[in-house]
Amino acid sequence: MNWRIVYNDQTHRYRIEQKRWWGWDFVADDSTGDYMSFSDLAAAKRWACQHFGQQTRQPRRWQIVDASGCR
């Protein structure tokens, strides 16, 4: 698995993490450099599937809500 969608209970936002050689890293917007953030799981999954394709470890603050990959 090279990506996963995570959720933060405090901000009620979803983010996508990508596996790097040093560990997991939030995906940033190329034009702004800001971390990509989504208000719902479906939007996050659509974006990840378009950019990464198929795809688990337990995070600390961000809980994994979908690591199933694209179908």
26-61, pLDDT tens digit by residue? 999 889 999 999 999 999 999 988 888 654 444 567
pTM: 0.68
Burial 17-31 (b: 16+ CB within 10 A, else e): beeeeeeeeebeeee
Q: What are the respective helix, strand and coil percentages of the chain, to the nearest 5?
A: 15, 35, 50
Q: What is the pLDDT of residue 56?
A: 41
